[in-house]
Structure 1
Amino acid sequence: MAGPKAILLTLCIILCSLRMAASQAGTCANHTFSSDRAFDSCTDLPVLGAHLHWTYDPATSSLHVAYRATQSPSGWIAWGINPTGTGMVGSQAIVALQNSDGTMKAYTTPIDSYSPAMGEKELSVKVSNVTAEYEGGEMAIFAVVGPLGNGTASGVNQVWQAGDSVVGGVPQAHATSGDNVKSMGTINFVSK
């Protein structure tokens, strides 16, 4: 019969293992896309239940990216890079939302003010192969971004966002407090 110390040690090991498994369950590294897309790197973004996956191609200086975030079908998500600053204004964004017929729509829009129109427009950065999907309570945006010039892939200002409503196919304003104003940072796409 095992002594109290052995039982306590066994319980501690089991609890620690369960805690580690639970903490890793929500990480980007464990995610599988339904479309069988795979990416070399990923990061769990600190707010808005968001994750960024990418593969950087140094030969073309292009970035194959997937941005996904927890969202209801009536909301919208956006991810972008800001080549001129660190905040929202100046960002070159990709938006995803669900159409009234249930299909997903993804498009590009530059963020030129704190009250942008969010209409479909070309960006100052080349973006192609823009698509979106909705599965398991998450929206995801897929795109190829680049070429990224002058070694900028090693220090890119990124922003991400989410809003709760879409009216007439247009994303409505997101919250202006809490996590919605913390959704920005710098990322290095070159190092894994």
Structure 2
Amino acid sequence: MSISKRSYIQCRTEISSRTIFICCTILSLLFFISSAKTCKKYTFPSNQVFHSCRDLPVLKAHLHWSYIPSTRSVHIAYRAAQTPKGWVSWAINPTGNGMIGSQAIVAFSRIDGSMNVYPTPINSYNPSMQPGALTIPVSNISATYGNNQMTIFAVLGPLVNGTTFNLVWQEGSTVTNGIPQMHSTSGPNIESVETLDFLS
């Protein structure tokens, strides 16, 4: 074999090895980034710890929870991607599997940057989205905003009808005069329902 041909083959081999190495590095990085976005990899700034979590299938949302059998209550943290001008909500529906009947908690950012968070029952397809009493006891409500993400914290209970509930979560892009406005009525916004057993 001539020197030039041997050099050519060696060069091709080095390029192929380098290409494989670069591809593997990129894939590893993408896997790391993807893994970091899962709920199990998330660390709350306040160092709160929850026993369970789930990456919800739509709206870039995640639910963390701890169920306390002795009090039949559940401590939750609901996280979802959002801009400072938008709003998010998370709800339990004890009577159905859709929007109507949902017992919701809604959060959004005020003009001064502080968070406004409160319970609101969803009794129609055109709800008031104003503060109101829920049919499920709720306490310790708070919310935070950071890294383009809103987080709702709350304690629900005692839960008198078991531990399996229909969940509904939602988001919208606009808040006007302190009232969250209508969300999109297509795509992920109408797919944000799921059944969850808090013992899971």
Q: Which of 158, 169, 176 lines up with 2:178 in the alignment?
A: 169
Which residues in structure 2 correspond to 1:55-70 (within 5 Å)?
55-70=66-81
**What is the CA distance between 1:147 and its match in structure 2?**
1.0
Which residues in structure 2 correspond to 1:38-57 (within 5 Å)?
38-57=49-68
For structure 1, the residue ranges without an aligned partner over 5 or more in a row are none
Which residues in structure 2 correspond to 1:74-85 (within 5 Å)?
74-85=85-96
Percent identity between the aligned chains? 52
Residues matched between the structures, number: 188
Calculate the TM-score normalised by the size of structure 1: 0.90
- What is aligned with 2:7? none
Q: Distance in 2 between matches of 1:105 and 1:15?
A: 41
- What is aligned with 2:6? none
- Residue deviations 1:148-177 (CA, integer Å, cap 9, x gap): 1132x1x21000000000011100000001
Q: Distance in 2 between matches of 1:109 and 1:27?
A: 28
Name the amino acid aligned to 1:82: N
**What is the CA distance between 1:36 and its match in structure 2?**
1.9
- What is aligned with 1:36? 47
Q: Distance in 2 between matches of 1:54 and 1:127?
A: 14
Q: Which of 30, 36, 39 lines up with 1:25 in the alignment?
A: 36
Stretch of structure 1 that moved more, 9-18 or 127-136: 9-18
- What is aligned with 1:182? 191
Pair 1:120-2:126 in alignment: no
**What is the CA distance between 1:23 and its match in structure 2?**
2.4
**What is the CA distance between 1:21 and its match in structure 2?**
1.9
Q: Which of 140, 154, 158 lines up with 2:167 in the alignment?
A: 158
Calculate the TM-score normalised by the size of structure 2: 0.87
Q: Distance in 1 between matches of 2:31 and 2:112?
A: 41
Pair 1:89-2:122 in alignment: no
Q: Which protein has the larger Cα radius of gyration, Structure 1 or Structure 2?
A: 2
- What is aligned with 2:111? 100
